[in-house]
């Protein structure tokens, strides 16, 4: 305190430090500089004020000497640039945040009172006022769900909040609030929520290291009702005429004792089918599945429903829907073989399990005659057949040991159509490598997903490895359960050998890997590349027929192999409504209030990807309201992107228009079904254990609305302060300047009155 | 010093080559086709004509550029290895009998892409028809007309199945069982193509021309099977 007063006396600015904890002085020249300066100044001073031989009293001599030494020392110190570093406590403004969950799960009712209404009751009871009373500050109130928004005092008093957020991200909400509060001493965060976090980071991980206590107030669960929820698992978006798609889902129970639940399916509003989810004993979840035969072209809206219970916690999770587009998929597959092999026989037989598939297989004999089999019906050998006609209608071209001289007459058309996305290319392993087949330096080689700079055949048997259980490609999901699917790939018959290439070309993707290792990594078995708008798949190991025809120790039979081939070819066919403009949607299903990315691919009349086009997307909802959005060009040539956030549920029609230099290039249409997200109701119970754990991890406490007073008591209302340091230049003082001037004057005065010079 | 360095470089090169030899085979070996003969029960001589299939596979490789392995292999229907072979050859002179398990396995094999060629060497007809009825109770052997694709796949046989080996003076006939649009079994009756495929000199009456006809017909069959 004395030091604080002294420094203030000299006029030094200590703000904002109020209470000095420690201090230290340093010199710009260092202490050695001061000593050197004193060694120089003291003799100089002695010489300047040398003895005049007059008699003065000892007292006077000591006084004069003291004044002179003091002045010299002071001067020397000031010349060395003295800096005083003061550490002390700075008062901080206390802050307190209250976060109110306004997601849709807060609309769930317990004894006819919604969770949010319970919070309203708490606020009406003066909760905020008592917090203010305890801490001396009015807490800053935020609502959170999709986003975090500050809530004004007036809004708090009126409690005009509604549970309309489609998702909850607790971790992000806390981070946002802490960021918004700015400087100050954060006494804590009071989060009023049911603990249902449907998106973002796992709150248990994200909040574990928070220093600020987060207190949780949960709505009471008394009288909690039973609930049944319906979830769809990756509903299909597209089906092919005369085939069927499988729809899978799950029913979960909460406080319901039943052995089965009926799932009713409606197509375009009319009853379609019903199925049951059968629960094993003590199991709260049961899967269901049903097939949808695609007998008619068009878009079909499917709605699934389970019965609602009386006084159910929420009925919003009792429905789910999806949009299925059935297309006429006359899949034409053309195969070119440089020699007869069982692999092609396997592929052909697998393809003909689909009634919509048509195959034509051309194989060249050693005497340069060709044999053809249409739909596996062999025909007599012939000379110089016209392959263009078959290629023209082909959706997928399979190359099997096809020499370049076989492909040369077709090369231009193959490359053009693959890049235009109207032809998929499947290359199966050959006894000859690409160099022996003569592909190097050709346009065909450019389509390959691998670099052919080196090609080594590894005659090592190996198994297939699916890189991820959650593969994004449907044709690689042969078994419903993802884990079993991975295991199924691993148990397929071993291939006898595999090609190792010089590397993958940029943009290539390994669809199926293998257990055969190269010097650095495992060798990929199935690789995909995108060539323009089309897809190319290379299978580097083989032969394939053992996988297709040889029984494996499994009761699954051969159907999955056939499905793999058929569905891969459908994917390779990559049908588009418009060759010039095409819409790419991440999913045919979206949710109200959530962004949907839409990509539009644009090509010119030469089927080259078009840069610098003007692309717009018009979205029309079921009510007839339409919105037009410009699409921004992405880093991928010919690809334009935009995003829209739907406000209403229902079918939305998308129409993209592309123009280049004022001229229309083309249009494309697509549809997306917008639904209300049921994520908030997937697990409708109040997450007491999660909130208790989060509170404990952060030093806060958990309480229900009835026990909210406990939180007010727990909040530390001490004024906040923090330790800060400040550097003070000691030369910056008028008083010191006056002292420095006054000392020689005092000495001069004393000398004068004693008759000294 | 320089010579030591050369020796070191040579050693490294040899090591690298050896490594390649060990780890890298040749791709041409990976999908070779073998046609095994069926080792059936009943007492018939399933082993007759051991050189037929190796000769056919050798010619398939030379004339058609097919990857083959020229071995005479026998497999019983109950052998799990059956499914390694996409085509089976059954021949003999007498009794043929399959167990119930073999019937089921053979059905499974044929339904999933396999093919059975039955060559009547002589005296097999009654038994093979009986077993085929057990295999496909609702199907009958269909006589293939002379204009069927199998008679003109690679080599032209305008009159249909050629007569290779004379037994009873009956005309040769090719019968087939079709299922789901695909030929699953071919039964060559009173022709004995298998005899004609054997090494020269085994059957003195088979002239080179006759043997060539047998080989051409067998190659036609092989190509047909490969393409369907």
Contact A499 B152 (CB under 8 A): no
Once rounded to an integer, what is the mean pLDDT over residues B83-91?
A: 89
- DSSP 8-class letter at A105: G
Task: Give A204's contacts (C-beta < 8 A, 6+ positions apart).
Answer: A690, A693, A694, A697
d(CA B40, CA B102): 9
Give B184-199 pLDDT, tens digit per residue.
999 999 999 999 999 9
Tokens of A575: 């049908």
Q: What pLDDT does A316 receive?
A: 80
In 3D, which of A631, A634, A633 has the Cα closest to residue A657? A631
Out of A345, A457, A460, whose CB is closest to B113?
A345
**Three-state secondary-structure class, residue A709:** helix
**B-proximal residues of A, 480-509, CB under 8 Å:** 496-497, 499
In 3D, which of A723, A724, A732 has the Cα closest to residue A13? A732
Is A542 in the B-facing interface, judged by CB distances under 8 Å? yes
Contact A457 B27 (CB under 8 A): yes
Task: Give A446's contacts (C-beta < 8 A, 6+ positions apart).
Answer: A415, A531
Contacts of A344 in chain B (CB under 8 A): 226
Give A495-536 pLDDT, tens digit per residue.
889 999 988 988 888 999 999 998 878 999 999 998 887 899
Out of B67, B86, B182, whose CB is closest to A431?
B67
Q: How many CA atoms lie within 13 A of A23 on its CB side?
A: 18
More confident residue, B38 or A283: B38
Tokens of A471: 């593969």
Q: Where are the beta strands (DSSP E) in chain B?
A: 37-38, 74-75, 87-92, 115-120, 142-143, 173-179, 182-189
Contacts of A429 in chain B (CB under 8 A): 27, 30
Maximum Cα interatomic distance, chain B, rounded to a whole number of Å: 85
Q: What pLDDT does A222 receive?
A: 63
Q: What pLDDT does A223 receive?
A: 59
Contacts of B184 in chain A (CB under 8 A): none
**Three-state secondary-structure class, residue A1:** coil
Residue by residue, DSSP assigns A352-364 as TTSTTEEEEEEEE
Q: What pLDDT does A144 receive?
A: 92
Is B21 in the A-facing interface, judged by CB distances under 8 Å? no
Is A462 in the B-facing interface, judged by CB distances under 8 Å? no
Highest mean pLDDT pick, A397-401, B6-10, B18-22? A397-401
Q: Is the pLDDT of residue B211 over 90?
A: yes
Residue of chain B whose alpha carbon sits nearest to that of A366? B64
d(CA A118, CA A220): 8
Pair B56, B69: CB distance under 8 Å: no
3-state helix, strand and coil shares in percent for chain A, rounded to the nearest 5: 30, 35, 35
Give A273-287 pLDDT, tens digit per residue.
999 999 988 788 999
Contact B153 A380 (CB under 8 A): yes
**Three-state secondary-structure class, residue A643:** strand
| CB burial of residue A267 (10 Å; 0-12, 13-18, 19+) | middle
In 3D, which of A412, A390, A401 has the Cα closest to residue A364? A401
Contact A373 B33 (CB under 8 A): no
**B-proximal residues of A, 408-447, CB under 8 Å:** 429-433
Mutual angle of helices A58-79 and A734-753, in 10-degree steps:
150
d(CA A458, CA A525): 12
Q: What pLDDT does A575 receive?
A: 53
User: Which residues of chain A are modeled with pLDDT < 50?
Assistant: 549-556, 576-579
Out of B31, B63, B150, whose CB is closest to A342?
B31
- ipTM for this prediction: 0.85
Q: How confident is the model at residue B15 (pLDDT cuts 50, 70, 90)?
A: very low
Q: Is the dihedral of CA A342, A343, A344, A345 positive or negative?
A: positive
Characterize A704-733 residue by residue with b for buried, 16 or more Cβ atoms within 10 angstroms of its Cβ, and e for exposed: bbeebeebbebbeeeebeeeeebebebbeb
Beta bridge partners of A652: A672
Q: What pLDDT does B143 receive?
A: 96
In 3D, which of A319, A409, A401, A335 has the Cα closest to residue A372? A335
Tokens of A229: 């929820």
d(CA A335, CA A140): 70
Contacts of B108 in chain A (CB under 8 A): 551
Instruction: Round the average pLDDT of chain A to a whole number and report it.
Output: 85
**pTM across the whole model:** 0.54
d(CA A454, CA A465): 23
Tokens 């290792």: give the residue.
A517
Contact A379 B149 (CB under 8 A): yes
| CB burial of residue A405 (10 Å; 0-12, 13-18, 19+) | exposed
d(CA B16, CA B8): 12
Pair A727, A85: CB distance under 8 Å: yes
Pair B61, B67: CB distance under 8 Å: yes
Tokens 């708090």: give the residue.
A156
Secondary structure element (H or E) that encloses residue A144, with its range = strand A140-144
Residue of chain A whose alpha carbon sits nearest to that of B24? A458
Q: What pLDDT does B13 receive?
A: 46
In 3D, which of A567, A457, A554, A454 has the Cα closest to residue A511? A567
């Amino acid at each position: 305190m004395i030091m604080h007063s002294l420094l203030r006396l000299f006029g030094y600015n200590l703000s904002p430090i109020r209470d000095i904890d420690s201090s230290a002085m340093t010199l710009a020249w260092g202490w050695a500089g001061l000593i050197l300066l004193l060694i120089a100044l003291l003799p100089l001073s002695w010489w300047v004020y040398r003895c005049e031989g007059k008699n003065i009293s000892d007292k006077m001599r000591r006084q004069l000497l003291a004044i002179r030494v003091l002045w010299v020392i002071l001067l020397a110190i000031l010349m060395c640039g003295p800096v005083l570093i003061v550490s002390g406590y700075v008062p901080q403004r206390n802050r307190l945040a209250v976060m109110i969950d306004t997601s849709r799960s807060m609309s769930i009712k317990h004894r006819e009172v919604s969770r949010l209404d319970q919070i309203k009751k708490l606020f009406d009871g003066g909760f905020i006022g008592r917090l203010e009373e305890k801490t001396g500050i009015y807490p800053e109130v935020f609502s959170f769900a999709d986003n975090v928004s500050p809530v004004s005092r007036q809004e708090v008093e009126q409690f005009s909040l509604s549970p309309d957020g489609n998702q909850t991200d607790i971790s992000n909400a806390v981070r946002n609030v802490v960021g918004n509060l700015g400087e100050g001493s954060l006494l804590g965060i009071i989060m009023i929520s049911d603990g249902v976090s449907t998106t973002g980071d796992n709150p248990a991980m994200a909040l574990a290291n928070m220093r600020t206590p987060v207190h949780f107030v949960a709505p009471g669960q008394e009288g909690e009702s039973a609930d049944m929820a319906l979830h769809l698992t990756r509903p299909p978006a597209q089906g092919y005429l005369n085939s069927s798609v499988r729809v899978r889902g799950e029913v979960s129970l909460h406080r319901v004792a039943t052995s089965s639940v009926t799932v009713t399916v409606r197509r375009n509003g009319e009853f379609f089918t019903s199925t049951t989810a059968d629960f094993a004993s003590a199991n709260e979840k049961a899967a269901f599945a049903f097939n949808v035969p695609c007998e008619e072209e068009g878009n079909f809206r499917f709605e699934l429903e389970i019965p609602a219970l009386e006084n159910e916690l929420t009925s919003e999770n009792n429905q789910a829907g999806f949009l299925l587009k059935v297309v006429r998929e006359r899949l034409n597959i053309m195969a070119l073989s440089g020699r007869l092999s069982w692999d092609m026989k396997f592929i052909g037989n697998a393809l003909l399990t689909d009634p919509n598939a048509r195959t034509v297989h051309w194989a060249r004999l050693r005497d340069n005659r060709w044999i053809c089999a249409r739909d596996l019906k062999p025909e007599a050998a012939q000379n110089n057949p016209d392959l263009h006609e078959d290629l023209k209608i082909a959706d997928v071209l399979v190359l099997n040991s096809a020499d370049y001289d076989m492909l040369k007459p077709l090369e231009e058309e193959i490359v053009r159509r693959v890049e235009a996305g109207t032809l998929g290319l499947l290359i199966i392993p050959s006894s000859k490598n690409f160099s022996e087949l003569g592909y190097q330096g050709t346009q065909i080689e450019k389509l390959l997903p691998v670099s052919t700079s080196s090609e080594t055949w590894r005659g090592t048997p190996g198994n297939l490895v699916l890189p991820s259980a959650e593969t994004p490609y449907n044709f690689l999901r042969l078994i419903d359960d993802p884990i079993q699917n991975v295991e199924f790939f691993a148990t397929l018959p071993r291939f006898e050998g595999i090609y190792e290439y010089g590397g993958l070309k940029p943009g290539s993707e390994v669809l199926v890997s293998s257990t055969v290792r190269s010097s650095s990594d495992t060798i990929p078995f199935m690789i995909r590349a995108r060539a323009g708008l089309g897809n190319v798949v290379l299978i580097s190991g083989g032969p394939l027929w053992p996988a297709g025809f040889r029984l494996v120790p499994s009761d699954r039979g051969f159907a999955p192999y056939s499905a793999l081939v058929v569905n891969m070819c459908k994917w390779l066919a990559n049908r588009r409504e418009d060759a010039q403009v095409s819409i790419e949607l991440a999913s045919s299903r979206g949710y109200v209030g959530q962004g949907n990315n839409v990509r539009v691919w644009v090509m010119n009349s030469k089927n080259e990807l078009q840069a610098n086009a003007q692309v717009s997307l018009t979205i029309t909802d079921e009510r007839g309201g339409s919105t037009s959005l410009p699409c921004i060009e992405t880093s991928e040539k010919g690809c334009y992107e935009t995003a829209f956030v739907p406000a209403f549920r229902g079918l939305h029609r998308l129409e993209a228009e592309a123009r280049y230099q004022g001229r229309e290039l083309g249009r494309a249409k697509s549809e997306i079904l917008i639904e209300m997200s049921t994520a908030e109701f997937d697990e409708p119970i109040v997450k007491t254990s999660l909130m208790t754990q989060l509170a404990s991890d952060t030093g806060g406490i958990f309480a229900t609305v009835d026990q909210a007073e406990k939180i007010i008591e727990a909040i530390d209302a001490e004024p906040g302060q923090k330790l800060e340091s400040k550097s003070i230049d000691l030369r910056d003082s008028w008083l010191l300047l006056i002292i420095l001037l006054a000392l020689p004057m005092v000495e001069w005065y004393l000398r004068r009155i004693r008759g000294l010079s | 010093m320089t010579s030591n360095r050369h020796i070191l470089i040579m050693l490294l090169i040899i090591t690298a080559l050896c490594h390649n030899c060990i780890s890298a085979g040749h791709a041409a070996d990976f999908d070779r086709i073998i046609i095994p003969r069926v080792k059936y029960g009943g007492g018939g001589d399933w082993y007759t004509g051991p050189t037929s299939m190796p000769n056919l596979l050798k010619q398939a490789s030379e004339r058609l550029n097919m990857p083959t392995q020229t071995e005479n292999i026998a497999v019983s229907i109950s052998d799990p290895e059956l499914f390694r072979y996409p085509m089976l050859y059954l021949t003999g002179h007498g009794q043929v009998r399959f167990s119930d398990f073999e019937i089921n396995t053979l059905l499974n094999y044929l339904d999933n892409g396999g093919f059975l060629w039955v060559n009547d060497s002589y005296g097999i007809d009654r038994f093979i028809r009986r077993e085929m009825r057990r295999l496909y109770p609702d199907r009958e052997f269909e006589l293939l007309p002379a204009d069927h694709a199998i008679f003109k796949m690679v080599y032209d046989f305008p009159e249909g199945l050629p007569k290779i080996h004379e037994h009873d003076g009956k005309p040769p006939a090719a019968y087939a069982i079709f299922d789901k649009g695909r030929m699953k079994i071919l039964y060559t009756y009173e022709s004995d193509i298998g005899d004609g495929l054997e090494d020269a000199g085994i059957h003195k009456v088979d002239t080179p021309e006759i043997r060539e006809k047998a080989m051409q017909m067998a190659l036609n069959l092989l190509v047909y099977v490969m393409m369907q």
